[in-house]
Chain A
Amino acid sequence: MNCEKCQDLVSDFLDGALSHEDQKTLNSHLEECLDCADVRNDLQSIVGFCRSNRGVYVAPPNEKALWLRIRNVIEAGASPGMLATAPERENVERRNFWTNWVGRSWELSFPQLVAAAAAIVLVVSLSTVVGLRRWQSGETVKNNNAAGAANLSVAAENVRSRISQQQQLIDYWNQRVEFNKARWNPQMRETFDRNLKVIDQAVNDSLDSLSQNPHDEVSEEMLNAALNEKLSLLKEFAEL
């Protein structure tokens, strides 16, 4: 047996797939050929390591955030095509995303966001007369309708939990952006920083107003909206 033939058979040998005959010939070659014995030993330690580590798993970088991403998609009922992973996404499509952000002018000021959020709250509140009345009069929690008040505080609780989930997602995407940032060109960096600054301003404004009035649902909705924008900015830039 020559070395070429021998090394061809080493893998089958390690997997126990050699005939008795072949095994014998192989063994006699391995006894006298150090090079081939070396190959056998090396492959054996690679295969042995893998076998003994079977069932050892790595956790994703952020299990919780990955779960939230999955749940968001499932709950949104998005089609599988929308979930194209970065390398699959067409370059053209990517360029469109990109120009979209470059050309985007962030004129949303705090009062405008308040108005937008107010509209959302108004729609939500219309379902309960109490909510509507409370909205119009700007009354605080002093309500004679106990059930209505309970509904409202549940709604506020939902907003708060949504905001905390968004914050986790933002942290996750932030990490991915940081990871890719090094290979951006200056124009990309400028666009990203400019957009982020405007959004962060809106986030801070709503946080300020929430710290003064913790039960202000308008500010909560506004914060929610600003965080949503931040999330979509990060997501899109994370792919670039």
Chain B
Amino acid sequence: MTATEIETQHETDYALAQKAAQGDMGAFEQLYQRHNRRVYSLCLRMTSNVSEAEDLAQEVFIQLFRKIGSFRGESAFTTWLHRLTVNQVLMHFRKRGVKMEQTTDDGETPIQIVKGTENPNAMPVVDRIALDKAIGQLPPGYRTVFTLHDIEGHEHEEIARMLGCSVGTSKSQLHKARMKLRGLLRQQKANE
């Protein structure tokens, strides 16, 4: 580790961002090292695809470098970067023509009310692998709302603003996403 690297470890994100805005690649690399996992994880959860997530994370950091001069330190750097990441993924979805709002469950069948013992399998204990697998099977619109709300902890108001939908839509999409996940997790167990 060089002296500069040791020095930059104690610097705030804002200080590093200012240096990076002056073209300091060392400072930018520090920012990358601090935040790449967070950015990549969000991309991965929203796309459920490793190479798409990597490409998106790459694009996020390139955009970050271009826009870093406009970061004024008013909000936390992580919040700012998070917002940049979500925008990047949503833009990617739009370019691919992904519908963000699932009107019905799979475009065909409306959400099912659980009744009687139609599925005798109890839902297994939730673990990372099973949940990630199930999330990967969700339609993108459900996956996005679920990721933003339950995984990332955003409020419906923020999600509605980001997606350009109503709070009611965000809420109902989330509920449908959770119900669908429940079904998928039970199914996984039944198929074991």
**Residues of A at under 8 Å CB distance from B?**
3-4, 7-8, 10-12, 17, 35-36, 38-39, 41-43, 45-51, 53-54, 57-61, 63, 66-67, 69-71, 73-75, 80, 83, 85-88, 176, 179
Flag B154-188 by CB within 8 Å of A: 1 or 0 each. 00000000000000000100110011011001100
Chain A residues with Cβ below 8 Å from B41 are 57-58
Shortest A216–chain B CB gap in Å is 30
Pick the residue among B61, B153, B175, B179 that contacts A70 (CB under 8 A): B61
CA distance A43 to B62 in the complex (A): 38
Are B96 and A88 in contact, CB atoms less than 8 angstroms apart?
yes
Are A88 and B92 in contact, CB atoms less than 8 angstroms apart?
yes
Shortest A168–chain B CB gap in Å is 15
CA distance A80 to B66 in the complex (A): 10
Chain A residues with Cβ below 8 Å from B59 are 80, 83, 85
Residue of B whose beta carbon sits closest to that of A63 = B36
B128 at the interface (CB under 8 A from A): yes
The interface residues of chain A, by DSSP majority, are classed as: helix
If the complex has contacts A11-B175, A60-B36, A60-B37, are A70 and B113 also in contact, measured as CB distance less than 8 A?
Answer: no
Chain B residues with Cβ below 8 Å from A69 are 58
Q: Of the 9-residue stretches B10-18, B44-52, B99-107, which lies at the interface with chain A? A: B44-52
Chain B residues with Cβ below 8 Å from A41 are 123
Are A85 and B56 in contact, CB atoms less than 8 angstroms apart?
yes
Are B36 and A50 in contact, CB atoms less than 8 angstroms apart?
no
Are A59 and B62 in contact, CB atoms less than 8 angstroms apart?
no
Q: A38-B122, A70-B58 are in contact. List 10 more A-B contacts (CB 8 A).
A: A42-B182, A43-B179, A46-B181, A58-B40, A70-B65, A73-B62, A74-B62, A80-B63, A85-B52, A85-B59
Are A46 and B113 in contact, CB atoms less than 8 angstroms apart?
no
Shortest B148–chain A CB gap in Å is 11
Residue of B whose beta carbon sits closest to that of A10 = B175
Shortest A169–chain B CB gap in Å is 12
Are B29 and A67 in contact, CB atoms less than 8 angstroms apart?
yes
CA distance A43 to B44 in the complex (A): 22
Chain A residues with Cβ below 8 Å from B36 are 59-60, 63, 66-67
Are A42 and B37 in contact, CB atoms less than 8 angstroms apart?
no
